[in-house]
Amino acid sequence: MFSEFGNVSSRKVIMRRFTLPAVGLLGLAALALTGCQSPTAEAAPADPNAPITIATLPVGDDPTAENPIEVFAELLEESTGRDVEITDVPDYLSVVEAIRADHVDIGIMSGFPSALAVNTGEVDALVAFQGDDKPVSTCVVLNDSPVQTVDDLEGKTVAFADQASSSGYFMPVYMLHEAGLEQGTDYEAIFAGGHEGSFAALQQGQVDAACTAVMLTELGAPMFPFADGEWRAVGESPAMDIQGAVLGRQSLDDETRKVIQDGIAEVFSPENAEALGAYGAFAAAEQTVDPDGSSFESFAEIAAVAGVELKDLK
């Protein structure tokens, strides 16, 4: 899946990877709430030798394939000339807290977590990836399921990835809402901790449907575990104005900020789409540098349907 990797290996990659434990996340959250960097604070002087640090959720568990975040990090090292350090965190909101607390420089987020983060006023959107007018999400059922349409999910149990996931929660919940089905009233929702958990719950018969990204169903194994003939898609959500964003800490110096933005433009290019795997959709998207906060306002209505306000990260 990640075999087309260009000339990334033309220099020895020095990449360090860390895992931020839960106790560390609690500390970050407290720091973010009590000592946040002011948006008007003067950035520290640039250190041209400093590594670029990234907070991320682990993406991809197939030991035979290159991990998309590691592919991204290597490409970013090539394009910026700086070392890259990856810190694994357990969920989307932990990425935001790590950025808010100045623990890392950047994080890559889908549309809704990006909107939630930007709305705090304490995280910047360095680059936004524009939407492509294609459906974002669908709900997957096993091929022998009696569920044929979205309406048939009434009275059923539906798995969602994570409460901060654009494709695995916000967009499919909105799709169900548009069909007249409300969470907790017309269907039971469970949160599986990620797309892989949703698929596992469906495979094991714990749920009637798993709502996920259309993109994952198109990628196939190992990102999507069902073979042709084993599953069906039920319904399609609307498109999103913004697919995702690269978020940055507000204390970034101007030089590092520009280095990252230029690097993102080079990394997320069509020739890298296959190598980037789960991040590949961003490679074909139009990019907006330093998008205005108003760019994320269209997410407010859908967030409200899901029972989440954009101020909830404060």
> DSSP assignment of 214-236, as one string?
HHHHHH-TTTS-PPTTSEEEE--
> Which residues contact residue 294 at a Cβ distance below 8 angstroms, ignoring those fewer than 6 apart?
none
pLDDT of residue 9: 35
The SS3 call for residue 61 is coil
Q: Could you tell me the domains of the chain?
A: 8-131+240-313 (3.40.190.10), 137-234 (3.40.190.10)
Strand ranges, E, within 115-241: 123-130, 137-142, 157-160, 188-191, 209-213, 231-234
What is the model's pLDDT at position 162?
84
Amino acid 12: pLDDT: 37
At residue 101, the pLDDT reads: 94
Cβ–Cβ under 8 Å, residues 165 and 299: no
The pLDDT value given to residue 5: 25
What is the pLDDT, as a whole number, of residue 160?
97
User: Would you state the pLDDT for residue 106?
Assistant: 97
Q: How far apart are CA 134 and CA 213, in angstroms?
A: 11
Which runs of E-coded beta strand occur in 36-156? 52-56, 84-88, 106-110, 123-130, 137-142
DSSP 62: -
Rounded CA separation 169/171 (Å): 6
Q: CB within 8 A of 174, min separation 6: which ones?
A: 237, 238, 302, 305, 306
Q: Do the Cβ atoms of 157 and 208 come closer than 8 Å?
A: yes
Strand order across the 123-130 sheet:
15-19, 84-88, 52-56, 106-110, 242-249, 123-130, 287-289
Residue closest to 171 by CA, chosen among 299, 56, 279: 299
Rounded Cα–Cα distance for residues 117 and 124 (Å)? 8
Q: Are 306 and 170 in contact (CB under 8 A)?
A: yes
Angle at which helix 92-100 crosses helix 22-34, to 10 degrees, equals: 50
Residue 247 confidence (pLDDT): 97
List the chain pLDDT tens, one digit each, 314 residues. Answer: 222 223 333 333 445 666 655 434 444 343 333 333 444 445 555 677 899 999 997 665 444 456 788 999 999 999 999 999 999 998 878 899 999 999 999 999 888 889 888 988 999 999 999 998 899 999 999 999 999 999 999 999 999 998 878 899 999 999 999 999 999 999 999 999 999 999 999 999 999 999 999 989 998 888 899 999 999 999 999 999 999 999 999 999 999 999 999 999 999 999 999 999 888 889 989 999 999 988 888 887 888 888 876 555 44
Q: What confidence score (pLDDT) does residue 211 get?
A: 98
pLDDT at 31: 35
244 touches 129 (CB < 8 A): yes
pLDDT at 47: 76
